[in-house]
Amino acid sequence: MTDERAQVLEVARRGREAAKQIRQLTRNEKDAALFAIADALDANCAQIVHANDSDVARAREAGTAAGLIDRLTLNTERVAAIAEALREVAALPDPVGEVVRGYTLPNGLQIRQVRVPMGVVGMIYEARPNVTVDAAGLCLKSGNVALLRGSSSAAATNAALVEIMREAIAARGISADAIQLVPGMTHDSTHHLMTARGLVDVLVPRGGAALIQNVVENSTVPVIETGVGNCHVYVDKDADFAKAVQIVINSKVQRPSVCNAAETLLVHKDIADAFLPLVAAALHDCGVTLHADERATALTAPTGIPVEPVTDEDWAIEYMSLDLATGVVDSVDEAIAHIQRWSTGHTEAIVTDSQSAAAAFIAGVDSAAVMVNASTRFTDGGEFGFGAEIGISTQKLHARGPMGLAELTTTTYIVTGDGHVRG
């Protein structure tokens, strides 16, 4: 075994040991620890920003793009916001101990299915240092140990944040090993974490498609895949045009860099000649470039708005920019077939006043969320009222869609008898 593998496994082993304590903490103990961490982050803000300065300087020297540097950067306001988010997590209900179902069998055996912590949760993520604290806080609240594998570009910041969090919980009698950085900054160290089956209970990768693909393909630890979103808006022949334009604009433009933004607009042929020029003009005003199929190109031509020809790559891609693929379909079934072919299973929206079209769309697409007359941007833990979000799952196993604290738990069946044996 390499030294690095031994180090990663040692971290996981210490996490497994700490999990025995963490899973039994009461809500009061966990909330007090979250407040203590928040206070410690506020108190040590200068130290955090100082550490972050060195990461940012390194990134600048390496010629990192401005957008990435912005994600990496912490200042006093951002540290305060990170601390405040922990206090909001403390205010959320404790998922641990919730009785999911409970009943008594005919023989008198009492069965309760109760939420319990997962145990040891591994987070693999990219440059945003706020994820380091968010993930640690959500894991602690749900009774889990957090093993954090952030980006090497944020190494100094993450080290400072984790050291402050560990001291804050240790001062309250909680094992510091409940929050640990995964050592090593090579590709190998991620691999060691992904193969620590038996020591790590679940991995949650958060980041770009390449990172998630790597974890999904190489992990022997169970993974919750979070998502790339190739989201669609379908405007049906029975759509209200004003609502449809609003929903398309909001889905595409409000925050194009996130996974619940729309990437493709499909329009029913019966209304395409009237609707497409309208929405094309509105999108153009917002700076959106349309990538249109032949029919959509012909119908928008009279507006004089330039469009690009759409390719299969356009149908497949998550643009993360002010680009939108668009096409005309003959029916709701054709819209469904297009979505079944190209979607990543994140969010699809239909705009229609027709009950039957909405029902067909809901039954036909197979995604984490289906919006009826609402923007794709609503697929979000905060918007759904979960209060905090681990990520948005695009897999079908365990969790699908926005994940709150409950998704960081599993369950145990507690069966109580009085000497019951099987006949």
214 contributes a contact to its own copies by CB under 8 A: no
CB of 285 to its own copies, least distance (A): 16
Rounded-to-integer distance, Cα 51 and Cα 161, Å: 9
Q: Residues, the chain, total?
A: 423
119 contributes a contact to its own copies by CB under 8 A: yes
295 Cβ contact partners less than 8 Å away, ≥ 6 residues apart: 269, 272, 327, 328
Contact track, its own copies, 339-358, x by CB under 8 A: -x------------------
Among 43, 91, 209, 362, interactor with its own copies by CB under 8 A: 362
The smaller minimum CB distance to its own copies, of residues 8 and 202, is found at 202
Contact track, its own copies, 292-331, x by CB under 8 A: ----------------------------------------
Part of the chain binding its own copies (CB under 8 A), chosen from 42-50, 55-63, 108-116, 148-156: 108-116
Provide the β-strand partners of residue 204.
123
Q: What is the CA radius of gyration of the chain?
A: 24
Which residue type, as a one-letter code, is found at position 318? E
The smaller minimum CB distance to its own copies, of residues 248 and 299, is found at 248
Among 131, 224, 290, 310, interactor with its own copies by CB under 8 A: 224
60-65 — which CB contacts under 8 Å span 24+ positions? Answer: 64/153
66 contributes a contact to its own copies by CB under 8 A: no
The smaller minimum CB distance to its own copies, of residues 51 and 317, is found at 317
Rounded-to-integer distance, Cα 61 and Cα 110, Å: 64
State the helix-helix crossing angle for 45-61 and 27-43, rounded to 10 degrees: 70
373 contributes a contact to its own copies by CB under 8 A: yes
Among 118, 156, 265, 405, interactor with its own copies by CB under 8 A: 118
Provide the β-strand partners of residue 203.
122, 223
User: CB of 141 within 8 A of CB of 89?
Assistant: yes
User: CB of 268 within 8 A of CB of 299?
Assistant: no
CB of 124 to its own copies, least distance (A): 16
410 contributes a contact to its own copies by CB under 8 A: yes
State the helix-helix crossing angle for 3-22 and 187-194, rounded to 10 degrees: 50
Number of residues that bind its own copies (CB under 8 A): 68
Provide the β-strand partners of residue 145.
120
Rounded-to-integer distance, Cα 233 and Cα 89, Å: 33
388 contributes a contact to its own copies by CB under 8 A: no
- Which pair of structure tokens corresponds to residue 163? 């050291």
Among 68, 111, 185, 281, interactor with its own copies by CB under 8 A: 111
352-353-356-360 Cα dihedral, nearest 10 degrees: 20
The smaller minimum CB distance to its own copies, of residues 86 and 200, is found at 200
Q: In 77-167, at which residue ranges do the beta strands (DSSP E only) sit?
A: 99-104, 110-117, 120-125, 145-149
CB of 371 to its own copies, least distance (A): 5
63 contributes a contact to its own copies by CB under 8 A: no
- DSSP-derived secondary structure for 160-178: HHHHHHHHHHHTTT--GGG
CB of 83 to its own copies, least distance (A): 25
Part of the chain binding its own copies (CB under 8 A), chosen from 33-41, 48-56, 70-78, 242-250: 242-250
Rounded-to-integer distance, Cα 150 and Cα 127, Å: 7
422 contributes a contact to its own copies by CB under 8 A: yes
Among 32, 281, 322, 372, interactor with its own copies by CB under 8 A: 372
How would you class 409 by CB atoms within 10 Å of its CB: exposed for 0-12, middle for 13-18, buried for 19 or more? buried
CB of 416 to its own copies, least distance (A): 5
187 contributes a contact to its own copies by CB under 8 A: no
User: CB of 4 within 8 A of CB of 185?
Assistant: no
The smaller minimum CB distance to its own copies, of residues 60 and 396, is found at 396
Instruction: List the interface residues with its own copies, window 248-277 (CB under 8 A).
Output: 249-250, 254
CB of 281 to its own copies, least distance (A): 18
186 contributes a contact to its own copies by CB under 8 A: no
The DSSP 8-state label assigned to residue 197 in this structure reads B
Rounded-to-integer distance, Cα 193 and Cα 191, Å: 5
Rounded-to-integer distance, Cα 17 and Cα 13, Å: 6
The smaller minimum CB distance to its own copies, of residues 306 and 413, is found at 413
383 contributes a contact to its own copies by CB under 8 A: yes
Contact residues toward its own copies (CB under 8 A) are 20, 23-24, 103, 105, 109, 111, 113, 116, 118-119, 197, 201-202, 216-217, 220, 222-224, 240, 242-243, 246-247, 249-250, 254, 340, 362-364, 366-375, 377-379, 383-385, 395-398, 400-402, 410-422
